[in-house]
Amino acid sequence: GLPAMRIRIKSSQDFATGVLFLFIGIGAFYIGASYNMGIPQRPGTGVLPRILACCLIGSGVLMWIKAFTVEGEGIGRFAWRPLVMVTIAVVAFSLLIDRVGLVVTMLVALPIAALGTPETRWGEFALFLVLMMAIGLGVFIYGLGMPLKVLPWN
């Protein structure tokens, strides 16, 4: 008969990360499927979720490929702090964006996410925050013309 082909996972950490990215990406794509895509000149609310979902799915596939081809680490201690802080930041973003606008939402959500690691250098983070707010405003408000509040009083 034919020799048995063995597939060996060389990095269980990359494999698990790939599975997580695939599940979240597929879930996000499914949830965002009912959102309006708009037209190229006027993108709708469904464009960004679908782009992000495709990026997550693609990253998951790449992580799977890496898990089978490159020696890596096993799954070690689970890092709860980043998971909790990033989850809180995402929830804060979703609860605040319509009420207080993009600027205030980013001023709240990004520092919460940064608390996910004790290695955050707050001076550098302040510069990063200003840069991310400028990019967010430039891309989503002025570039794509998305109907988001910029500040609470807009």
Chain centre to alpha carbon of residue 3: 42
Q: Which residues contact 106 (CB under 8 A, 6 or more apart)?
A: 129, 132, 133, 136
Average pLDDT over every residue of 30-58: 83
Q: Report how far residue 100's alpha carbon sits from residue 143's, in angstroms, rounded to the nearest whole number.
A: 20
Q: What is the pLDDT of residues 8-20, one digit of tens each?
A: 778 888 888 888 8
DSSP 153: T
Check pLDDT > 70 for residue 37: yes
Q: What is the pLDDT of residues 20-29, one digit of tens each?
A: 889 888 988 8
Check pLDDT > 80 for residue 43: no
Q: What is the Cβ-side half-sphere exposure of residue 150, based on CA atoms within 13 angstroms?
A: 12
Q: Report how far residue 67's alpha carbon sits from residue 72's, in angstroms, rounded to the nearest whole number.
A: 7
Q: What is the pTM of this model?
A: 0.57
Question: Mean pLDDT score of the chain, rounded to an integer?
Answer: 86
The sign of the torsion formed by the CA atoms of 85, 86, 89, 90 equals negative
Reported confidence tier of residue 77, pLDDT bands at 50, 70, 90: low
Side chain identity, residue 121: R
